Amino acid sequence: MKQIPSVDLRDFLSGDPERKQKFVNEIGKAYEEIGFVALKGHFLDEKLVEELYEEVKQFFELPVATKQKYEIPGIGGQRGYVGFGKETAKGFKKGDLKEFWHFGQYLEEGSKYSEVYPDNVEVAENPKFNTVGKEAFKMLEKTGIYVLRALSLHLGLDEFYFDQFVGEGNSILRPIHYPPITSEPDNAVRAAAHGDINLITLLMGAQGKGLQVMNHDGEWIDAIAQPDELMINVGDMLSRLTNNKLKSTIHQVVNPPREMWGTSRYSIPFFMHPVGEMPLNALENCVDENHPKLYEDTTAGDFLYERLVELGLIKI
Ligand SMILES: O=C(O)CCC(=O)C(=O)O
Ligand SMILES: [Fe+2]
């Protein structure tokens, strides 16, 4: 496969059983083969995306000292600001050439997870950043819930299987800034090759070139979504749950050619996580003689902790 398949969520939502099944088949096939799709017809409208990019740019243009006020110790970078070079992809020594922000789950009052998740951090200098971030979080989460419903059907589960785990899930929206490159990067890249930790990742289009996905033949292919599309990929949690039936595909963000070093890159992935108690034990119908169990049983919470240590975001 040399290209990422494109699917349309409106097929799933159409109320027409044939169109719905077509969507389930298309996304199921894409996730068994390459682990990525470009999705149209989602809930994030163009104006909101534009506003979010604008706010995100303004935030990263704030003085470093201001941004550092929002770097919260002791929470593994799960909310607020994480400074340049602090995250290192699993298995790499050099930190990625990026800084980022995390918006986390918006809980209803009285939710038991308010004791568990760190509070969201508000940027005082830029109130609209907070509200637009929240709105985008909600729309991406809504889109992700439908994608997971389609995957449930593909996996032979109840359509609403994932709803119980993701409704108050530990999801994060991560605006990333890759600053201009000022000197020879010395082996470091904007984002070194990695699989995402979570269930699925929804990545806004319009981020330009740079993202590459490894196909079955070990070739890097460019992943470019149209402005109205979201790139949605399988993360390691979903791959574990399905005993690698659905593929969490390795991807990276390469440095631009030298003549483009002077430009920043921005991108805004939404990492959809379940609640920490969700078991990631392989589903029964994904294990048989020809597909022996590949991973140890674990929970989403334990798996996340392990990975945040590997990324250097939790120091032990
Ligand atoms: O910047 C991008 O396009 C993708 C970033 C990414 O893969 C990640 O943050 O996990
Ligand atoms: Fe990623």
| Strand duo 6-8 + 36-40: pairing | parallel
Number of the ligand 1 atom closest to the C-alpha atom of 231: 3
pLDDT tens-digit series, residues 254-265: 999 999 999 999
Extended beta strands in the chain, E state:
6-8, 36-40, 80-82, 99-104, 172-173, 176-178, 191-194, 200-204, 211-214, 220-222, 230-234, 251-253, 265-267, 269-272
SS3 at position 281:
coil
- Find where tokens 């990545």 sit: 203
Query: For residues 232 and 316, what is the distance between their CA atoms, to the nearest angstrom?
Result: 32
CA of 23 to the centre of ligand 2 (A): 24
Residues of the chain with pLDDT under 50: none
Find the length of the chain.
316
Q: Which of 86, 88, 176, 230 to mutate to test the pocket of ligand 1 (most atoms within 8 A of CB)?
A: 176
Amino acid 315: pLDDT: 86
pLDDT tens digits along 270-304: 999 999 999 999 999 999 999 999 999 999 999 99
Q: Return mean pLDDT, the chain.
A: 95
pLDDT at 46: 92
Tokens of 116: 């568990």
Residues 6+ apart with CB under 8 A from 118: 72, 75, 78, 79, 104
* pLDDT for res 207: 63
CA atoms of 105 and 254, how far apart (whole Å): 30
Residue 191 beta carbon below 6 angstroms from any ligand 1 atom: yes
Which ligand approaches the C-alpha of residue 212 most closely?
A: 1
Which residue, by CA, sits nearest to atom 10 of ligand 1?
196
176 lines ligand 1 (CB under 6 A): yes
- Give pLDDT, residue 151: 98
Domain limits, the chain: 6-310
Using CA atoms of 246, 247, 248, 253 in order, give the dihedral in degrees to the nearest 10.
Answer: -140
Q: ipTM > 0.95?
A: yes
CATH topology of domain 6-310: Jelly Rolls (2.60.120)
Q: Give the position of tokens 């600001």.
A: 81
Does the reported pTM lie above 0.95? Answer: yes
Tell me the ligand closest to 223's alpha carbon: 1
